[in-house]
Chains A and B, each alone.
Chain A
Amino acid sequence: MRGNRIKKAGILFVIFMLCFTFVSRAAQSVTTAVVETKKAVSGKITHEISASGRIEAGSEFAVLIPEGLQVTEVCVEEGDDVAEGALLFMTAGNTKLARAREDFLSWERRASMDLSGLSDKYLQAYEDWQRYLAKTEGWYWKAEDDLQEDELELAVREKEYEYFNSCKEYFNDLAAAEKIRIGSLSGDAGRAESMAAKAQKVCQRLQEKLDTAKNEYWDYKRNRERSYQYTRKDDEKKYREALEKAIPEYQAAIEDYEDGLLTKIRAVEDSSTDNMDENGNVSSPVSGVVREIAVKEGAATPSSASAVIAVSSQKKQLRVQLGADMEKYLSAGDECIIKKYGASEEIRGQTITKLSYDEKDASLLDVTVEVHGEGLAVGDMVTVDFSRQSEQYPLVLPLDSIHIESGETYVLALKEREGILGKNLEAEKLSVKILEQNSDYAAVSSDGIADREIIVRTDRAVDAGSRVRQKVA
């Protein structure tokens, strides 16, 4: 009995284990994620940007007239074709301009006279200074000439002295030689001696004269220089002070005149307009279509444009706004495709002519596209598609396969692992760096993902190390 019970227990245990073998496998297959994979391939990242807008005229003319004028009659409506010179609206006249002009003229007369007076004063001081300089210079040069004459005379005296000194030496030598040669011949020796004595006297007189001339020369030179310096210093101070006073006065007057002139001219410009005559009639400067009229009868003219004329002779354009981060994908000269709302035809070959940041909001980018083609008219609503392809990248993956967590960018790749259940696939985390991306794909750089199957889609959350099953295509 007991043995039978034990046998039954054993059989039940085996059946129990068999059942749970299948149940656990079934539970595991339910909890194991099924993944779709792809390998990283070589490719380019294409950036497709779309926007919509309305076709505009290539250029527009804003009619600006002074603010605050009362509008008496509006002669056109928005959408009207107007020719150059056509009457747009009438105002009560531009009195402000007339006043500004009179004010300018009267100011200009006064300012010119004041400036002229100061100019004369400055010129007089300047001329006095120049004359003084010329006069003192004349004195200086005359003194220089006198000094030169004295130097010449002195040089002559020195030459004479040298001559007689040499004569003296000659006669001394001659006397000595005669004494020796003739001996006691008193006649020759006496003559030689008397000539030597005479020469010596002449030399002494000359030496005295020379010394005197030298002293006189140096005294004269010193006196001349001293008197010149003293005279020059006093007069110079007087004329220099006059000039230094005149110069800043004159310069300040010039600056005041220039400032005043600018202010007055600006006032006249603000009050004037090329588009309005003296009677206050405003006409169109160009031929085109009236896109906007910002004035009403009986109201005052605004500070902004009173009217905007779309110039019909110019080319058509499309202006759209995109996020400023799109700038890196666009550049002037890029081609784009335009499609009219409700139409399937694509008009290719349109080019971007200008890219600029919005003046009021730097996070917006204004893109201007030059539009050609017969199928598009001013005012049509269109969509525009921009496309930019990057360089060729060796590893491009779908963006769905890339995960970012705690600042780390990674992908999950399949890894075969030998386990108790045999060869299993599990997810392995591989770090990558995104080089460029669009909304669908990303170019990455990484070591070791070139030939790996990267998990792009799963039916449940998968972490690194999770067991997975690969979906068979």
Chain B
Amino acid sequence: MRHCRKCTEVLIFLFALLFFLPVLFLIAGSVMGEDELLGCLGPVFGQGGGYARMAVFPSFPTIRPYVKVLLDTPEFFVMFWNSVKITAGILAGQMIFGTMAAWGLAKGSFPGRKQLLWVYIALMLMPFQVLMLSDYLVLKELGLLDSHWGLIWQGAFSAFPVFIMYRFFDGIPPEMMEAAELDGAGSFQIFRHIGLPLGRAGIFSAMVLGLLESWSMIEQPMTFLKTKSLWPLSILLPEIQEGKIGYAFAVSVLIFLPALLVFLTGQKYLEQGIEASSVKKGGN
């Protein structure tokens, strides 16, 4: 039994390592010189035959790519703070509008509530390319094209966080709300003092997932932002060229770090959310 368990752990570790290898390559590549990178990835750029390869440990490590990013590329920081602004705005909007929408769908009693939920789910399932044209026309009419507010408003009313938070709000026992009503609490007070604290896990889960999504979105900025000074960090990476490979790896690591930190911060709530939904399913 113990032996089987060990083997299972080793197998799982190996699989985990396999999934972790790209991150290892990313970090290793960010401290490699251009010559060494071209030697590994030359076939990708049409130099030499054979296949691309990657080394976990660089032969001649260097921090020149980071120096280039941090000192020689002020554009990186402009785009970084653009990403911060867009992401913060979207999360704030989702926090305000998404939570209330999810509470209303979970605990409301108005006609068509179920149908409205299905509409939300349908909207959530649609890819961006389907909604792109309608979004563009709406933003154009509102005069929000080529500005961060266009992206922020569009993300703030996203259906996905509503769906995540709905599941959590739906798990709150109605008896607690009834008890609060008997104590004289109004709807908003119930939402604020009972719904938000008890649905905290779901809210944080939605925020984490929302941040990961908005931090790395590419299609929306490329479609709705023409001015280069408004571009977020996610658009910087597609400019990988021969001679800038190390620089691209360093940028990727720096982009990856905030997402990692946020994930680590909200990991507990994500796990709680996944656990809670599975228990609820079993209970139902």
A28 within 8 Å of B (CB atoms): yes
Contact-residue size bin, chain B (C-beta under 8 Å from the other chain): 20 to 34
* Count: A-B pairs, CB below 8 Å: 57
For the complex formed, measure the closest distance between the CB of A460 and the CB atoms of chain B, giving whole angstroms. Answer: 15
Within 8 A of B (CB), among A12-36: 13, 17, 20-21, 23-25, 27-28, 31
Chain B contacts for A25, CB-based, 8 A: 74, 77
Beyond A20-B70, A23-B70, A24-B70, is A421–B261 a contact (Cβ under 8 Å)?
A: no
Which of A6, A9, A31 has most chain B Cβ within 10 Å?
A: A6
Contact of B74 among A6, A17, A28, A418 (CB under 8 A): A28
Chain A contacts for B75, CB-based, 8 A: 419-421
Does the CB pair A24–B76 fall under 8 Å? yes
Contact of B261 among A9, A28, A419, A420 (CB under 8 A): A9
Within 8 A of A (CB), among B53-68: none
Chain A contacts for B81, CB-based, 8 A: 21
Chain B contact residues: over half helix, strand or loop, or mixed? helix
Q: How many residues of A contact B (CB 8 A)?
A: 20
Segment at the interface with A among B187-195, B223-231, B274-282: B223-231
A422 within 8 Å of B (CB atoms): yes
Does the CB pair A13–B229 fall under 8 Å? no
Beyond A13-B257, A13-B261, A24-B77, is A420–B228 a contact (Cβ under 8 Å)?
A: yes
Chain B contacts for A17, CB-based, 8 A: 77, 80
CA–CA, A259 and B73, complex, Å:
93
Beyond A3-B268, A418-B227, A420-B229, is A21–B72 a contact (Cβ under 8 Å)?
A: no
Which of A17, A25, A27, A28 has most chain B Cβ within 10 Å?
A: A17
Chain A contacts for B264, CB-based, 8 A: 6
B16 within 8 Å of A (CB atoms): no
Cβ contacts A144-178/B at 8 Å (1 or 0 each) = 00000000000000000000000000000000000
Chain B contacts for A21, CB-based, 8 A: 74, 77, 80-81
A135 within 8 Å of B (CB atoms): no
Does the CB pair B71–A23 fall under 8 Å? yes
CA–CA, A20 and B261, complex, Å:
19
CA–CA, A286 and B221, complex, Å:
99
Does the CB pair B228–A24 fall under 8 Å? no
B48 within 8 Å of A (CB atoms): no
Does the CB pair A419–B229 fall under 8 Å? yes
Q: Which residue of A lies closest to B257 (CB)?
A: A13
Beyond A419-B229, A420-B231, A422-B229, is A20–B77 a contact (Cβ under 8 Å)?
A: yes
Does the CB pair B228–A419 fall under 8 Å? yes
For the complex formed, measure the closest distance between the CB of B210 and the CB atoms of chain A, giving whole angstroms. Answer: 17
B47 within 8 Å of A (CB atoms): no
Does the CB pair B70–A421 fall under 8 Å? no
Does the CB pair A28–B265 fall under 8 Å? no
Chain A contacts for B268, CB-based, 8 A: 3
Q: Which residue of B lies closest to A417 (CB)?
A: B228
Q: Which residue of B lies closest to A11 (CB)?
A: B261
CA–CA, A25 and B76, complex, Å:
11
A10 within 8 Å of B (CB atoms): yes
A7 within 8 Å of B (CB atoms): yes
B258 within 8 Å of A (CB atoms): yes
Cβ contacts B244-276/A at 8 Å (1 or 0 each) = 000000000000011001101100100000000
Does the CB pair B265–A24 fall under 8 Å? no
Q: Which residue of B lies closest to A7 (CB)?
A: B265
B78 within 8 Å of A (CB atoms): yes
B79 within 8 Å of A (CB atoms): yes
CA–CA, A6 and B265, complex, Å:
6
CA–CA, A334 and B125, complex, Å:
90
CA–CA, A143 and B89, complex, Å:
143
Beyond A23-B70, A24-B73, is A420–B265 a contact (Cβ under 8 Å)?
A: no
CA–CA, A420 and B80, complex, Å:
11
CA–CA, A13 and B76, complex, Å:
15
For the complex formed, measure the closest distance between the CB of A298 and the CB atoms of chain B, giving whole angstroms. Answer: 86
CA–CA, A31 and B228, complex, Å:
22
CA–CA, A21 and B81, complex, Å:
9
CA–CA, A17 and B84, complex, Å:
11
Cβ contacts A370-402/B at 8 Å (1 or 0 each) = 000000000000000000000000000000000
The 4 closest A-B pairs by CB, nearest first: A420-B75, A21-B77, A24-B74, A10-B261
Mind listing 23 A-B residue pairs with CB under 8 Å? Answer: A3-B265, A3-B268, A6-B261, A7-B265, A9-B261, A10-B261, A10-B262, A13-B258, A17-B77, A17-B80, A20-B71, A21-B74, A23-B70, A23-B71, A27-B72, A27-B74, A31-B72, A418-B228, A419-B75, A419-B228, A420-B75, A420-B231, A421-B75
Given contacts A10-B261, A13-B258, A21-B80, 11 further A-B contacts (CB under 8 A): A6-B261, A6-B264, A10-B265, A13-B261, A21-B74, A23-B70, A24-B77, A25-B77, A27-B74, A419-B75, A421-B74
What residues of chain B have their CB less than 8 Å away from a CB belonging to chain A?
Answer: 70-81, 227-229, 231, 257-258, 261-262, 264-265, 268
